[in-house]
Amino acid sequence: MTSAGGPSARILVADDDVQLCASLKLLLAAHDYDVATAHDGRECIEAIRRHQPDVLVLDLAMPELDGFGVLRELDGLQLDAQPPDVVVLTGHGGIADGARAIREGAVGFLTKPARNVELLTLVSRAISGREAVYQTRRVSIDFRKHWECSLASRRDGVASVVNHMAAEMRLTGLVPPPIMRRILMAADEAITNAVIHGGLEIGSALKEHSDPAAFEEACRERERDEDYGGRKIRVSVDTEPGLVTVTVHGPGPGFDARSVPDMDDTEALLMTSGRGLVIMRSLVDDVSFDDDGRRVVLRKRL
């Protein structure tokens, strides 16, 4: 198992757009990842066998074997390590394809053209989640477990909370690693949203319509301000036979839960915030909101 974000973390980028592959390879290599590329589905399968990557960035529309075909073949590959976590790339408006890919095993998706910061975020989450899930599992005799914590409204605390969540779920011996990865990815999305939109009170419009540098600077400024960055997010995990429930309760003004876009509302889901909801809904079985939108509850059946 490679270290999260470390220089040995292996990424495979598979896309029939050779120029895009080269661009993504440069981007990821600049962040100390070991990057390989493939340009069609069959070449992708061979590259997985050869490089055994931690994360696969996968275009869904490729010749020879499309991305869905690659997802179907992953589980049957004879690999020394666990199969890679998959982040898929879809064409503009390919929300339905992205959601389908998550249901078929991917852990996230982005629509082209994807922002660099969003791709790096998903890759980092996937690697951190793998490290948390595949640590040595200890089984507890207590098959019902409640765990809770609070964190300040600062993004650098999210990964630590997610790692602790994984450790608590491992203690029960109830949650298979592939399902745990999906729960952790959904929880990461929910906690990050609570930090940014609840604690820091930075709206989706800034992320949608400004350049990434402006959004990043706005987040950092609010994180340094104790009136925002000091606000607490409460997170709890309840693990029992057949069900994991994650609850994330944030501060701030909340939002009208009735405004959450329907999965069939393609135009609304094309927004960055809408895609986050699709990811959560596709990774777990149920997502619900209450307390004026400040609390989100994720449920995943085992």
Report pLDDT for 2: 46
Report pLDDT for 5: 41
pLDDT-flagged residues of the chain (< 70): 1-7, 92-93, 132-143, 207-210, 254-275
Report pLDDT for 101: 87
- Identity of the amino acid at 211: D
Long-range contacts of residues 28-36, Cβ cutoff 8 Å, at least 24 apart: 28/120, 28/123, 31/5, 31/120, 32/5, 32/6, 32/7, 33/7, 33/9, 33/123, 34/7, 34/8, 34/9, 34/10, 35/10, 35/11, 36/10, 36/11, 36/12
Query: What single DSSP character describes residue 291?
Result: T
Report pLDDT for 171: 80
pLDDT tens digits for 164-210?
A: 998 888 888 888 888 898 899 899 989 998 999 889 988 777 766 66
Residues in Cβ contact with 146 at an 8 Å cutoff, skipping those fewer than 6 apart = 236, 237, 238
Report pLDDT for 150: 92
Counting Cα atoms < 13 Å in the Cβ hemisphere of 127 gives 25
Report pLDDT for 208: 65
d(CA 103, CA 105): 6
Q: Give me the domains of the chain, ranges plus CATH numbers.
A: 10-132 (3.40.50.2300), 136-301 (3.30.565.10)
Residues in Cβ contact with 258 at an 8 Å cutoff, skipping those fewer than 6 apart = none
